[in-house]
Structure 1
Amino acid sequence: MYSKLLLALVLTVSAFASSATTTISGTKDYGGATVGTSCDGASESQAPVFVLTDGSTIKNVVIKAGGGADGIHCLGSCTIQSVKWADVCEDAATMKGGSGKTMNVVGGSAYKASDKVFQHNGIGSTIKISGFAADTIGKLYRSCGNCSSNGGPRKVVISSTKLANVSASVVGINTNFGDTATITGLQIKGYKSGSPKVCVAYKGVQSGSESPLIGEQWNTANCIVKTTNVTSY
């Protein structure tokens, strides 16, 4: 009896934790399971929990608190559907795919991202976020301000998304690289004009220096969002 109980415990722990990155090709449905690796604070040298190859989909998984590491890396076009981050470690997901590639985030949620939820590195690519929710975050999205061989454009499209307790801004983009942010149907808990800032422009630079802040923009060629697209709840 004891050995059977021990075996069951080992199998249960194995289902919820892994020490290595999992690479996904095709479609993987986790059926609501909780997984994770580790978390070394804001270290950018952490390995991701998942790597999504071009054309792949991950769905219905919870990434556990203390196990989010560098989240999900999307290497080309990918879909992240109904994925929940119990506590974001470094970033929830990073778009690394290049020109013409799209990372689709459909549904899901994230909690406690001290910096940003979604990091956008791939030049010429797009991140689409729809039906997502996040609470206690710095930013929802940031186009890389100081990547090596940095440039653009990068595009983000956000729709039907609900946020709470945003400490910095909803998105940050590099207007000098031609980045764009298109935002509709955004709800922010207790939102008042300027608190939090919605679409913030930066000047993108190369690795080794910090990206200078320009400021919040509305209804411009880069920040494609009107005040009517953002409501309080």
Structure 2
Amino acid sequence: MNFAIEKLSKNFEKKEVLKNISFTFESGKIYGLLGRNGAGKTTLFNCVNRDIKTDGGYFYIHDGNQEREVVAHDIGYVLSTPTVPAFLTGREFIKFFIEINEKDIKNLKSIDEYFDMINIENEDRDKLIKDYSHGMKNKMQMLINIIAQPNVLLLDEPLTSLDVVVAEEMKQLLRTIKTDRVIIFSTHIMELALDLCDEIVILNHGVLEVIDKEELNNTEFKAKIIHALQEEEHV
């Protein structure tokens, strides 16, 4: 299964943020979407998720010899700031999510099995989510996407504010769930992208460009990439 973007454009007044982007992402890989803050990474995600209207472009799923347009349940989206219901318990939230999506969930597990997958302790499962730490809320946001198993998972800087232990847990979880889906991991931290991702894609001047990971380990090449991103910041 592949996820294809074709001729995606997005303008905000006179600023052209995404410039006729065409790109194909392969399943089974984590793609690091690298770019400075303000480069348009979140805009790209919001276009794919149809949270904002594009000025042009199409999104397709290629599966074998079949090609079809992307529909809502193909896309999962984890925001940098978790959006989870504060006045439900963790268990109530997962139960509610399963109940409204049950017909679309493959290989349904028990709620406690799902909690075990993301290392939520037994004593925390029946607490109100408003009392969860930022990292736990982020885990809950990730968990509903594990349950739903979307074909394309968009991750918008989800590890930036997490402590080291939780961040490592999340990275390991992403490595275990990447089979049979496309994961696109947005970050402005080059070292994080190198550690976690199979492929590196840079959003620079409104276009996507694949970068060889081996080249990014080269100090001189890395300096050129940083310089290019700094140039964009001053455009």
TM-score by length of 2: 0.27
Tell which has more relative contact order, 1 or 2 (C-alpha 8 A, sep 6+).
2
* Structure showing the higher strand proportion among its residues: 1
TM-score by length of 1: 0.27
* Structure showing the higher helix proportion among its residues: 2
